[in-house]
Structure 1
Amino acid sequence: MPKLAGTLIVLLTFILLWQGFHLLVGASAIASPLQTVVKLGALLGTGEFWVNISETMRAFVAAFALSLLGGISLGIVLGVRKLAGNVAEPILTTLYSIPKVVLYPLVLLCFGLGISAKIAFGVMHGLIPITLFSMNAIRQMKPVYRRTSQVMRLSPSQSAFTVILPAILPEIISGVRLGFSLTLLGVLIGEMFASQRGLGFMLTSAINIGQIDTIMAIALLLTVFAVSCNSLMMLFNRQLTHR
């Protein structure tokens, strides 16, 4: 009950601040909470909007799956091999600090204007954070786990999946949470630059013609989706930590 009450208080405060900003700057800058919800309901009642949602979700699911599998696998390899990890970490950090927008022409050249470019742009945002979190999780893992796997003469694959991965799973979930949000952001940015469908394309179109209520409605939908998924991952993480 205290957690529920705290959540309701935060939500109510957010709505009041939102309404306050709307009254302060006017409807031409920020739509009110009620206008946003009404507009979102109207959009959800159209088939075209669901087509755009489907396009974004297809690209996001593929990009997140690639970021997840690639990031965890690469992180485990680099974490187990200390020298390779020490060499790769500054390189990965430097690569991630490069603004991804400047690489978009290269992405378009390699993948074209279809869904592949959006997936690639999402992976560019989500892969490296998951890799770094996974690698650092292994570095902070208790040495007794690896010594136990060596005593039991487990193969590298058996050690990775039965000892290392379960031991570092709570820390990996934290990286997955960050990678989830960044991958979604990457897909949306990809749709905003060169796409004919998707929520990012709808945002760009709404910005160009000044449809503030549409912008706010899409932003609200994405916020609810991201917060809901993040809350589920936090709950899963707490259960793992408790166990």
Structure 2
Amino acid sequence: MTSIDSYKPIEVVERSSIWKRHQRSFDLLLLAIVVVAVWQVFFLIGGAVALASPLQATRTAIAMLTSADFWVDIRATFSAFASSVVIEAILGILLGAILGLRRMTGDVVEPMIAGLYSIPKLMFFPMITLFFGIGMSSEVAFGVLHGIIPIILFTMSAVRNIKPVYLKSARTMGLSTTQTLFTIALPATVPEIFTGLRIGISGALIGVILCEMFGSSKGVGFRLMNAMANNVVADISAITLILIVVAAVLSAALMVIDERLHRRI
């Protein structure tokens, strides 16, 4: 009896771990079902003039994804998106880390950055197109504008929360600001920095799509705006569905990485 009872806690732990592994998948499936159900209800209320049905949107999306022309737009969008992510990650992490190490400067600049984050970014669209023109350069700049601020703020907060003994050790060893930044500050704050990156990457995708809608001649955002101008409901619904799926998959992948990084702390 004793030996059998001793295995019960292990079985409970195993069942708990299995449930936790499958809980996220179950939640995502449930959310997808709810979204499709709500979509179908709105379709029944508004009719085909306002919204395509989930089935029709799916069929149109599949047809688009099998079209070579649509993949030209996808490549244009994700080229701008990838460039935005690289630029905002490098600039955002460096600026955030420097402002985190230089506390007085950070205290002055942080309210300005936070205030800028609350302003609708479309206000800056005319200035961006004036400086960068219409095309990929403005898309990249608009994507960076949408995503860099969370990276700066999260990195700044993470660096400020580094254990003081680390920074004291750096000063004792005579490390410069640059050496302290790359050997102590950034490695010690990777999980928190990645959380900012996760939010910044999502913001960059939004910025690129918005810029394509209002100031580009190609890309998924341009195709969406063109469908809206011509009131092609099926195309609007299909492109929206594709963007939702891409954003959901990207967000889920980043969330998994984020959780694993925090688990190692």
Which range, TM-score by smaller chain?
Answer: over 0.9
Flag structure 2 segments of 5+ consecutive residues without an equivalent: 1-21
Kindly state the Cα deviation for residue 58 of structure 1 after the two structures are TM-superposed: 0.9
Summarize the alignment of residues 136-175 of structure 1 with structure 2, pairs less than 5 Å apart: 136-175=157-196
Q: Which has the larger displacement, 193-202 or 232-241?
A: 232-241
Distance of 2:29 and 2:210 partners within structure 1? 31
Q: Is residue 2:88 matched to residue 1:67?
A: yes
Matched AA of 1:57: F
1:7-22 map, 5 Å: 7-22=28-43
Q: Secondary structure at the match of 1:31?
A: coil
Aligned counterparts of 2:23 and 2:154: Cα–Cα separation in 1: 32
- AA at the equivalent of 2:237: M
The CA distance in 2 between the partners of 1:17 and 1:135, in whole Å, is: 40
Counterpart position of 2:23: 2
State the Cα deviation string for residues 177-216 of structure 1 (Å, max 9, x = none).
Answer: 1111111111111111111101111111111111122112
**Separation in 1, partners of 2:126, 2:25:** 46
- The question of whether the paired residues in 1 share the 8 Å contact of 2:159 and 2:189 is answered with yes
1:51-130 alignment to 2 at 5 Å? 51-130=72-151
Match of 1:180 among 173, 198, 201: 201
Q: Quote how far apart the aligned CAs of 1:99 are.
A: 2.6
Whole-angstrom CA distance in 1 between matches of 2:59 and 2:261: 39
Question: Taking structure 1 as the reference length, what is the TM-score of the superposition?
Answer: 0.94
Q: Tell me if 1:239 matches 2:254.
A: no
Distance 1:68 1:162 in 2: 18
Contact 2:98–2:181 under 8 Å retained in 1:
no
TM-superposed deviation, 1:62: 0.7
| Paired position in structure 2 for 1:134 | 155
Deviation for aligned residue 1:236: 1.2
2:208 is the alignment partner of 1:200 = no
Inter-partner Cα distance in structure 2 for 1:53 and 1:192 = 14
User: Structure 1: any 5+ residue segments left out of the alignment?
Assistant: none
Aligned residues of 2:151 and 2:197 also touching (Cα < 8 A): yes
Distance 2:31 2:143 in 1: 30
Give the whole-Å Cα distance in 2 for the aligned partners of 1:77 and 1:55: 33
Return the offset for 1:7. 2.4
The answer to whether 1:35 aligns with 2:56 is yes
Alignment partners' CA distance in 2, 1:10 and 1:103: 35
Whole-angstrom CA distance in 1 between matches of 2:191 and 2:70:
36
Q: Which amino acid aligns with 1:99?
A: P
- Taking the aligned partners of 2:234 and 2:163, their CA distance within structure 1 comes to 52
Among 218, 240, 246, the residue aligned to 1:225:
246
Counterparts of 2:252 and 2:73 in 1: how far apart (Å)?
A: 25
Give the match for residue 46 of structure 2: 25
1:206-239 deviation line (CA, Å, top 9, x unaligned): 1111112211211111111122121111111111
Q: For 2:52 and 2:229, how far apart are their aligned partners in 1?
A: 16
Give 1:38 deviation, angstroms.
Answer: 0.3
What is the TM-score with the length of structure 2 in the denominator?
Answer: 0.86
Q: What is the CA–CA distance in structure 1 between the aligned matches of 2:56 and 2:50, rounded to whole Å?
A: 13
Query: RMSD value over aligned CA atoms?
Result: 1.6
For residues 14 and 97 of structure 1, the distance between their equivalents in structure 2, rounded to whole angstroms, comes to 28
Moved more, 108-117 or 91-100: 91-100
- CA 1:100–1:5: 2 relative to 1, 3 Å: closer
